[in-house]
Amino acid sequence: MSRTQTHQQIRIRRLKRVLVLISALMVATTLLLTSCNNRRWNDKQRKATREMIEQWRQLAYLNALTEEEFALFAGRVTDVLEEEYPSYVEFVEMPMVGDSVEMVIVATIVTDIKASPTRLGHIFPYEELVANNILPEGLDQATVAPFYVCLAEKVNTLYGTMLEFVQDIIYSRLDDMIVARMISQCAQPYWDVEMEVIDIR
């Protein structure tokens, strides 16, 4: 092989490496731009928003979440706020920023309960229902689940929407008598034990 051919092969290899490098840089740039488009707020701003959400931790439903559950919940609320208000500066400078955060928090609670009625257990904990002799003790999650499904159905029938119900709970407007009746109706099957008839003839 001649010296000229060898130099040509080296140039071709170098050219290929340059093309691969350019392609890799283009892919990295595209990913970076996509990431920037999807994430309008930086990490510090998102962290500040999660800390803002922490102020509502004592609300019904939220106060029953574990730290891990609350962190996931706060992350979902932050995602919605970031989507609704792409400019973080404008968001925090809004006169009614607290009301906007609370509105998204309430809507997210409603979404959680709609997705899984058993999450009503964060508002009406099984342990409290047992302590008040509403449900028998010793039931596992699968056995208690139909109670919360029944309760969610009754709430939707009475209120027409879960949102109104959650708002009534959060703003202490709930009619205790109506809720007690719904809870009692859904708990009744757990006390209706079919008696075994023994033939002694």
The predicted structure's pLDDT at residue 140: 93
Mean of the pLDDT values across residues 39-45?
A: 88
The predicted structure's pLDDT at residue 10: 57
The predicted structure's pLDDT at residue 14: 57
The predicted structure's pLDDT at residue 197: 39
pLDDT of 200 higher than 60: no
Q: What angle do CA 191, 195, 201 make, to 5 degrees?
A: 170
**Residues 135, 183 contacting (CB under 8 angstroms):** no
Which conformational region is residue 136 in: left (phi greater than 0), alpha (psi within -120 to 50 degrees), or beta?
beta
3-state secondary structure (DSSP) of residue 125: coil
Structure token digits, residue 49: 């928003």
Handedness of CA 60, 64, 68, 72 (dihedral sign): negative
The predicted structure's pLDDT at residue 15: 54
pLDDT digits (tens, 9 = 90+) for 85-96: 999 999 999 999
The predicted structure's pLDDT at residue 136: 94
The predicted structure's pLDDT at residue 8: 59
Mean of the pLDDT values across residues 187-191?
A: 93
Rg (CA), the chain: 29
Mean of the pLDDT values across residues 112-132?
A: 95
The predicted structure's pLDDT at residue 39: 58
The predicted structure's pLDDT at residue 21: 47
Polymer length of the chain: 201
Task: Please tell me the distance from the alpha carbon of residue 144 to that of residue 135, in angstroms, as a whole number.
Answer: 9
Pick the residue with more confidence: 9 or 65? 65
Task: Please tell me the distance from the alpha carbon of residue 161 to that of residue 111, in angstroms, as a whole number.
Answer: 11
Pick the residue with more confidence: 11 or 143? 143
pLDDT of 9 higher than 80: no
**Residues 149, 118 contacting (CB under 8 angstroms):** yes
**Residues 101, 93 contacting (CB under 8 angstroms):** no
Mean of the pLDDT values across residues 95-101?
A: 93
**Residues 110, 59 contacting (CB under 8 angstroms):** no
Q: Which residue is associated with the tokens 């998204």?
A: 104
Pick the residue with more confidence: 17 or 153? 153
Task: Please tell me the distance from the alpha carbon of residue 150 to that of residue 154, in angstroms, as a whole number.
Answer: 6
Let me know if 190 is exposed, middle or buried by CB neighbors in 10 A (0-12, 13-18, 19+): middle
What pTM did the predictor assign? 0.73
